[in-house]
Amino acid sequence: MVKLVPLITYEDLSEIILLVKNVYDMDLSGYSKASLKRRVIRFMELEKLDLLGLKTALINTKGFYSHFIMELTVNVTEMFRDPQYYQLLNTEVMPYLASFPRLRLWSAGCSTGEEVYSLSIILQEHGLYQRSFIYGTDINARVLDTAKKGIYSLAKVKEYSDNYLKSGCKNSLSDYYTAMYEAACMPNELKEKILFSTHNLVSDGVFNEFQFISCRNVLIYFEIDLQKKVFELFDKSLALFGFLCLGSKESMIHSGLLHKYKVIDKKYNIYQKIAL
């Protein structure tokens, strides 16, 4: 008979969380358990390890831990994901951002960078790029390497063209990249105002003041208490009248901060900070 019983239980998961905390001071305890457990099991299957094997390798095999952490995160992303969201950036957010003399933007949990290049393109189209600087951060150094290169599969980028058009942008996505064989390369113009760097939302603090923060499809992986903590970090990092943009299934209801934020769009979860 097919054996399907889960490789590990929630108790096993707690042990792994504790081990990683004790040995590497990495705190995974605020992650949503069901998806974290699925990721751990996926990793164990990939590496053909049982629970003991996993623990042993985590403690004793050099480099194994960072490999483990990289594989735990979910890095799925797209350019112009949720076109209606980008449409709202075009109509509601960019015109307001134009009133700031200098713009600092932060994409937290940017994965392989597609979201950051999308922002870069939108800023260009609104004539705001020259006064902007975008920080793209993620906990996973491996995806940031891809982000820095800015080279994506041409087939995928062609799919993003459809997103781009639906977001009400002016040109054609192909105006922004150069196609080389099977690859689409982001040009240097789009990169020069971007800095990619590691930042852990669980343990790292404020590093600048921003007029725009987007953190999309990251908070779904966090339990409510950790979400709250991260919202506080964003609140401290956001300038007055700056914008906070979340994924289409993420909201500020559990943040305890809604008395300071105006809901710009309820469906796409765009907020503006209107009090300090």
Ligand X SMILES: C[S@@+](CC[C@H](N)C(=O)[O-])C[C@H]1O[C@@H](n2cnc3c(N)ncnc32)[C@H](O)[C@@H]1O
Helix (H) / strand (E) element for 53: namely helix 51-60
Least distance to ligand X from the beta carbon of 37, Å?
A: 15
* Residue in this structure with the two tokens 């260009």, named with its chain if needed: 124
Q: Please identify which residue in 35, 56, 172, 203 interacts with another protein, judged by CB under 8 A.
A: 35
Q: Read off the amino acid at residue 117.
A: Y
Pairwise CA distance, residues 267 & 249, whole Å: 8
Closer by beta carbon to another protein, 132 or else 167: 167
The residue range among 89-97, 105-113, 121-129, 268-276 that interacts with ligand X, by the rule CB under 6 A, is 105-113
The residue range among 96-104, 200-208, 238-246, 267-275 that interacts with ligand X, by the rule CB under 6 A, is 200-208
Closest CA to 199 of 106, 264, 127: 106
Strand partners, 183: 153, 180
Under rule CB under 6 A, residue 25 binds ligand X: no
Helix (H) / strand (E) element for 154: namely helix 154-166
CA within 13 Å, CB half, 218: 23
Helix (H) / strand (E) element for 123: namely helix 114-125
DSSP 90: I
Under rule CB under 8 A, residue 52 binds another protein: no
Closer by beta carbon to ligand X, 97 or else 144: 144
Least distance to another protein from the beta carbon of 201, Å?
A: 16
Size of the site for ligand X (CB under 6 A): 23
Q: Please identify which residue in 164, 221, 234, 268 interacts with another protein, judged by CB under 8 A.
A: 221
Under rule CB under 6 A, residue 74 binds ligand X: yes
Under rule CB under 6 A, residue 139 binds ligand X: yes
Q: Please identify which residue in 202, 239, 258, 264 interacts with ligand X, judged by CB under 6 A.
A: 202
